[in-house]
Chain A
Amino acid sequence: MILKALRSRGARKFRQNRLAMFALGVISVYGVVALLVALGGIRLEETFERVSRNSIPGAWGSQTSEKRVNDAEEYLEEIESALDNEEHLEYRFAERKLVDLPVEELVERVEESWEIWDELADVSNVDEHPELLVKLDEVEERIDALFAPLEGVDGWMYAFRTYLGTDRQGRSITVRAVYSIKLAIQVGFIVALAATLLGTLLGAAAGFFGGWIDGLVIWLYSTFSAIPVLIMLMVLVTIFIDTPYEGTLVPLYVSMMLTFWIGPCRVIRGEVLKLKELEYVQAATSIGFGRFYILVKHLIPNTSHLMFINFSLLFIGAIKNEVILTFLNLGVKNQPSWGTMINQSRQEVINGFFWQIGAATALMFGLVWAFNIVSDALQDSFDPKHVS
Chain B
Amino acid sequence: MSLIRVDNMVKHFPVRGGVLNRIVGKVHAVNGVSFRIDEGEVLGVVGESGCGKSTLGKLIIRLIESTSGEVHYDGTEITHLGHNDMLPFRRRMQIVFQDPYSSLNPRLTVNALLKEAIVFHSIVPPSEVESHIDKLMAKVGLRPDQKNRFPHEFSGGQRQRIGIARALALNPDFIVADEPVSALDVSIQAQVLNLMMDLKDELGLTLLFISHDLKVIEHFCDRVLVMYLGYVVEEMNCLDIHGEARHPYTQALLGANPVNDPDEDRELTVLEGDVPSPFSPPKGCPFVTRCPLVESRCHEEMPPLVEKTKGHRVACWAVE
Contacts and interface: CB of A to CB of B under 8 A. Distances in A.
Given A287-B170, A288-B90, A282 B97 contact: yes
Contacts of B99: 279
A335 interface: no
A75 interface: no
A351 interface: no
Given A283-B103, A288-B83, A298-B105, 9 more contacts: A279-B102, A280-B102, A280-B105, A283-B95, A284-B105, A286-B61, A288-B90, A288-B120, A297-B116
A290 B95 contact: no
A302 interface: yes
Contacts, number: 59
A278 interface: yes
A288 B86 contact: yes
A289 to B, nearest CB: 7
17 contacts: A1-B107, A4-B150, A8-B152, A9-B152, A280-B102, A282-B58, A283-B166, A287-B90, A288-B83, A288-B86, A288-B90, A288-B121, A289-B120, A290-B83, A297-B116, A298-B105, A301-B107
Given A279-B97, A282-B63, A287 B117 contact: yes
Interface SS majority for chain A: helix
Given A285-B63, A286-B61, A287-B117, A302 B105 contact: yes
A121 B121 CA distance: 93
B164 to A, nearest CB: 12
Contact of A4 (B103, B107, B116, B120): B107
Interface in A1-41: 1, 4, 7-9
Contacts of B116: 287, 289, 297
Interface of A: 1, 4, 7-9, 278-280, 282-290, 297-298, 301-302
B87 interface: yes
Nearest to A300: B107
Interface in B59-95: 61, 63, 83, 86-87, 90-91, 93-95
Contact of B95 (A4, A278, A286, A297): A286
B25 interface: no
B131 to A, nearest CB: 20
A286 B104 contact: no
A283 B94 CA distance: 8
Contacts of B107: 1, 4, 298, 301-302
A284 B170 CA distance: 12
B103 A286 contact: no
Given A279-B97, A282-B95, A288 B87 contact: yes
Interface string B8-36: 00000000000000000000000000000
B170 A278 contact: no
A297 B107 CA distance: 10
Contact of B93 (A284, A286, A301, A302): A286
A297 B93 CA distance: 22
